[in-house]
Amino acid sequence: MDRKRRISIIGSTGSIGTQALEVIERLRDKFEIVALAGGNNVELLKLQAEKFKPEYICYNNKAISPPGDKSISSYKILHGEEGLEQICSDRSTDLILVACSGKAGLKPTLKAIENGIDIALANKETLVMAGDIVMKKAREYGSKIIPVDSEHCAIHQCIKDIRQVDKLIITASGGPFLHKSIEEMRKATVKEALSHPRWNMGRKITVDSATLMNKGLEIIEAHHLFGMDYDDIEVVIHPQSIVHSAIEYKDGSVIAQLGLPSMHIPIQYAITYPERFEGIKSKSFSFAEIARLDFEKPDFEKFPALNLAYFAGRTGGTATTCLNAANEEAVFAFLDGKITLCQIVEITEKMLSGHKVIQNPSIDEIFAIDGEVREKTQNYIKNTL
């Protein structure tokens, strides 16, 4: 990079956001922070702002008084969706890392694309909700979408020419219930679901990893990012999380990307792409130390989320919007102790089977469906369970 890259982070106080700032701290001479947006964790946002000196900070709730420290008065304080819109309209920005969780990622991503700003996308829900529109817009406005999700980052690193690729192979650690019985999974507590064996992530994505819905969403994400048919996207369980994903070329050659599990690496790859720097380098890789890598077929019966995601993806239109909204609401209900872990996917399936799919929806239709499905899911949980 011949000059400092001007970057904003949406979701700077979350798991990906804080790790991105750790990467940027190591590469201070490469980046200039335009804006940091966090949800409601104003205290952390304030600490980040003092350290990284952004031009703007943005948080959700206007009612929360701004950080009182005088040192912060040099930053402009923005709020909520309007604030995010302003951040995503600042055309002096080179790259926006969209690292917030759930549906909150879609609007800012679209706004940034419309302003020709490149996106490092950590929020997979954006593509699950509205992948066709997002990718089409990105092509139209010449904005690059660089995946941060470790599997998609791996595939991005492997691909030279997508036209020569026959198959994407997405790896899944299998989550905390991989070798537990269905009965044990039915009785799973929130704490058990949140104890992921390999990755330390936010709560929503960790629950999604326990049901394998996360992998389901990643299948849809991969379909949009790389333009691959669902028939050519395969999931394989790989408990060690060393092979982050792979591609198979037409001639049968398989190229995989490997590394010790750390989100710092895909984040760093995405925000410095196409260059590479030492930055936060993981400890040097040793095949001999790792000694063995295991792979197995996913158990589609135990993890129905996978087939549900394939089904929604193949159906297309608003089916994936519905899948995402129902799942997200059900995950919140599980975290609130209202339903069991297995009910998350059961409820999502129920909502999807009752959904009247709109093909080629407009963005307004997507937001309308998203709202309707969320309400329906909440009512279903309240009234029938």
Binding site for Mg ion (CB under 5 A): 149-151
CB nearer to Mg ion: pick between 150 and 324: 150
Q: Which helix (H) or strand (E) holds 132?
A: helix 125-141
CB of 262 to Mg ion, least distance (A): 13
Minimum distance of Mg ion from residue 359's CB (angstroms): 28
How near is the Cβ of 172 to Mg ion at its closest, in Å? 8
Q: How far is the CB of 257 from Mg ion (least distance, A)?
A: 13
Give the nearer residue to Mg ion in terms of CB position, either 221 or 329: 221
DSSP string, 87-110: HHT-TT-SEEEE---GGGGHHHHH
Helix axes 213-226, 319-335, angle to 10 degrees: 150
In contact, 105 and 370? CB cutoff 8 Å: no
Shortest gap between Cβ of 216 and Mg ion (angstroms)?
A: 11
User: Letter for the amino acid at 279?
Assistant: G
Burial of 142 (0-12, 13-18, 19+ CB in 10 A): exposed
CB of 123 to Mg ion, least distance (A): 12
Measured in degrees and rounded to the nearest 5, phi and psi for residue 41 equal -85, 70
Q: Tell me the closest approach of the beta carbon of residue 73 to Mg ion, in angstroms.
A: 39
By beta-carbon proximity to Mg ion, the closer residue of 293 and 363 is 293
* Cβ-closest position to Mg ion: 149
Measure Cα distances from 50 to 76, 274, 295 in Å. Answer: 13, 29, 45
Q: How far apart are CB 361 and Mg ion at their closest, in Å?
A: 26
| CB contact set of 368 (below 8 Å; sequence gap of 6+) | none
Q: How far is the CB of 153 from Mg ion (least distance, A)?
A: 9
- CA torsion sign, 127 to 277 to 262 to 237? positive
- Contact (CB, 8 A) for 124 and 222: no
57 SS3 class: strand
Ramachandran angles phi, psi of 167, nearest 5°: -155, 140
Task: Give the residue from 146, 147, 201, 133 showing the smallest Cα distance to 173.
Answer: 201
What backbone torsions phi and psi does residue 37 show, to the nearest 5 degrees? -120, 125
Per the listing, tokens 């890598």 go with 293
CA atoms within 13 A on the CB side of 326: 29
> Considering the complex, what minimum distance in angstroms separates the CB of residue 59 from Mg ion?
27
Q: Three-state DSSP class for 170?
A: strand
294, with CB counted inside 10 A (0-12, 13-18, 19+), is exposed
